[in-house]
């Protein structure tokens, strides 16, 4: 007995073939565009309107939301660029975020335009520079809200521990290439220097009932967040998106700052965020923040991310990410307020305070030098 296909089924097959052919053509177009972009300095832009769930109670968009968008744009352009060559498919993994300045607040109803551009490539890493513009779509006014530089490495989809080679880009001039090489060497050295201090696992924060009665001390404001890593937090490799981690870090730092000041606070800047080890799906992460330095106008908060696998608990807790966040205190009109002095208890807190003061003076001198150059 012979079976005949219905005419509708044959028509569907033709549609499927057409869709497959179209999909292949789109893939070729994307690859060709990526190859052209690699020679010209490719860019990628994300745009999204800021909603109430992106902001705090006074309407300022959380710094963690902006950091997450920055990382998403960097991951897209980095992954697209690294897959313009033959070989294993790969995903760009975030390993470091350079000092990030929050230049202007972003408010509910504004549109954040995040533009990412590849500015340097080494054999196994690439630098992506990102700018965030905030647009008021009612008035048309625009302002530069944020700028950052991120470093990625391409990890093979077949083996997460295998680092792929990065296709080179063409530079506008030899000076641009040399400047990028200097930035690469500097961040490489700084990452090595931070390894010496990541082995120390921060003890759990004190029980609220045991906190010092004295306000404005380190122990009074120290805070932690515990989070179970789920599928929605992860990349195709089943490890946590860098942007998800940064958002959690900003939230904890914000809690510490608010407890110290008891006012509205906003993220002013973030010192280099170093991603030391990957955090896999199913891990429990503990994000701990503690004050390390306070000036009359700002607060420096050290944020450390420790991870423990629920499946392989015998491996113990390890340091995954570390960074320093700077917050400022604002009144109801978004004007800066004086920050209460930090009360120091013990030699360890004194040591961290002195190191924070050195970073504060260094960053202040650096900003003055940049202004003079402009």
Q: What is the pLDDT of residue 205?
A: 53
Q: d(Cα 306, Cα 320) in Å, to the nearest integer?
A: 5
Residues 6+ apart with CB under 8 A from 351: none
Same domain, 143 and 276: no
Same domain, 178 and 242: no
Same domain, 318 and 245: yes
Q: What is the pLDDT of residue 173?
A: 92
Same domain, 143 and 221: no
Q: One of 83, 146, 233, 250 is an active-site residue; which one?
A: 250
Question: What CATH number does the domain containing 221 carry?
Answer: 3.10.129.10
SS3 203: coil
Same domain, 170 and 226: no
Same domain, 180 and 221: no
Q: Is residue 319, in this structure, part of any structural domain at all? A: yes
Identify which of 98, 20, 110, 10 has the alpha carbon closest to the alpha carbon of residue 59. Answer: 110
Local confidence band at 260 (pLDDT 50, 70, 90 cut-offs): very high
Instruction: Classify residue 319 by its DSSP letter.
Output: E
Identify which of 159, 148, 88 has the alpha carbon closest to the alpha carbon of residue 115. Answer: 148
Asked about 136 being catalytic, the answer comes back as no
The CA distances from residue 239 to 134, 204, 232, 235, in Å, are 30, 24, 10, 6
Q: Is residue 128, in this structure, part of any structural domain at all? A: yes
The CA distances from residue 231 to 60, 237, 244, in Å, are 29, 10, 12
Identify which of 263, 276, 227 has the alpha carbon closest to the alpha carbon of residue 96. Answer: 276
Its domain, for residue 82, covers: 40-189
Q: Is residue 15, in this structure, part of any structural domain at all? A: no
Q: What is the pLDDT of residues 188-218, one digit of tens each?
A: 888 877 766 665 555 555 555 565 568 899 9
Q: Is residue 23, in this structure, part of any structural domain at all? A: no
How is residue 279 written in tokens? 């955090």
Percent of residues in the chain assigned helix, strand, coil, to nearest 5? 40, 30, 30
Helices H / strands E in the chain, number of each: 6, 12
CB neighbours of residue 282 within 10 Å: 15
Q: Is the predicted pLDDT of residue 5 greater than 50, yes or no? A: no
Average pLDDT for the chain = 85
Same domain, 84 and 216: no
Q: Is residue 68, in this structure, part of any structural domain at all? A: yes
Asked about 233 being catalytic, the answer comes back as no
Identify which of 231, 267, 235, 40 has the alpha carbon closest to the alpha carbon of residue 152. Answer: 235
Same domain, 256 and 367: yes
Q: What is the pLDDT of residue 38?
A: 52
Q: What is the pLDDT of residues 102-158, one digit of tens each?
A: 999 899 999 999 999 999 999 999 999 999 999 999 999 999 999 999 999 999 988
What is the count of structural domains for the chain? 2
Q: Is residue 202, in this structure, part of any structural domain at all? A: no
* Mean pLDDT, rounded, for 321-338: 92
Q: What is the pLDDT of residue 305?
A: 95
CB neighbours of residue 203 within 10 Å: 8
| DSSP letter for each residue of 227-265 | EE--GGGB-TTSBB-HHHHHHHHHHHHHHHHHHHH-SEE
CB 345 within 8 A of CB 293: no
Distance from the Cα of residue 214 to its chain's centroid: 34
CB 56 within 8 A of CB 250: no
Instruction: Classify residue 205 by its DSSP letter.
Output: P
Same domain, 181 and 230: no
Identify which of 271, 259, 255 has the alpha carbon closest to the alpha carbon of residue 321. Answer: 271
Domain boundary among 156, 189, 222: 189
242-261 vs 63-82: helix crossing angle, rounded to 10? 160
Residues 6+ apart with CB under 8 A from 238: 280, 281
Q: What is the pLDDT of residues 264-309, one digit of tens each?
A: 999 999 988 999 999 999 999 999 999 999 999 999 999 999 999 8
Same domain, 340 and 229: yes
The CA distances from residue 303 to 246, 250, 361, in Å, are 10, 8, 20
Q: Is the predicted pLDDT of residue 174 greater than 60, yes or no? A: yes
Q: Is residue 345, in this structure, part of any structural domain at all? A: yes
Q: d(Cα 311, Cα 201) in Å, to the nearest integer?
A: 20
- Torsion sign over Cα 207, 209, 213, 215: positive
Same domain, 219 and 368: yes
Same domain, 243 and 174: no
The CA distances from residue 105 to 40, 85, 101, 108, 328, in Å, are 32, 39, 11, 10, 12
Q: Is residue 8, in this structure, part of any structural domain at all? A: no
Give the helix ranges, DSSP H, for the chain.
7-40, 63-82, 174-194, 218-221, 242-261, 347-373
């Amino acid at each position: 007995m012979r079976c005949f296909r219905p005419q509708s089924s044959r028509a569907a097959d033709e549609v499927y073939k057409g869709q497959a052919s179209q999909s292949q053509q789109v893939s070729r177009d994307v690859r060709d565009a990526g190859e052209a972009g690699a020679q010209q300095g490719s860019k990628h832009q994300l745009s999204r309107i800021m909603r109430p769930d992106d902001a705090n109670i006074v309407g300022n968009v959380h710094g963690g939301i902006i950091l997450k968008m920055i990382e998403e744009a960097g991951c897209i352009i980095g992954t697209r660029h690294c897959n313009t060559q033959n070989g294993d498919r790969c995903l760009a993994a975030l390993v470091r975020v350079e000092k990030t300045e929050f230049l202007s607040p972003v408010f509910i109803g504004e549109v954040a335009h995040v533009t990412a551009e590849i500015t340097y490539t080494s054999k196994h890493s690439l630098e992506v520079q990102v700018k965030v513009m905030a647009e008021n779509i009612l008035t048309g006014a625009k302002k530069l809200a944020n700028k950052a530089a991120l470093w990625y490495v391409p990890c093979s989809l077949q083996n997460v521990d295998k680092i792929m080679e990065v296709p080179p880009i063409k530079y506008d001039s030899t000076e641009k290439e040399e400047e990028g090489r200097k930035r690469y060497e500097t961040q490489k050295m700084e990452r090595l220097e931070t390894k010496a201090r990541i082995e120390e696992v921060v003890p759990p924060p004190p029980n609220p009932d045991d906190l010092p009665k004295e306000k404005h001390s380190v122990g009074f404001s120290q805070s932690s967040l515990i989070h179970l890593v789920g599928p929605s937090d992860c990349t195709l490799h089943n490890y946590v998106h860098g942007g998800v981690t940064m958002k959690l870090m900003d939230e904890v730092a914000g809690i510490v700052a608010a407890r110290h000041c008891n006012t509205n606070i906003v993220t002013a800047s973030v010192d280099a965020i170093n991603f030391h080890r990957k955090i896999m799906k199913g891990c429990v992460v503990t994000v701990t923040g503690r004050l390390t330095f306070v000036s009359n106008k700002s607060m420096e908060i050290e944020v450390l991310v420790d991870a423990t696998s629920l499946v392989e608990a015998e491996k113990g807790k390890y340091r995954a990410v570390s960074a320093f966040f700077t917050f400022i205190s604002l009144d109801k009109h978004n004007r800066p307020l004086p920050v209460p002095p930090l009360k120091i208890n013990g030699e360890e807190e004194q040591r961290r305070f002195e190191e924070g003061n050195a970073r504060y003076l260094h960053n202040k001198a650096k900003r003055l030098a940049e202004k003079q150059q402009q």
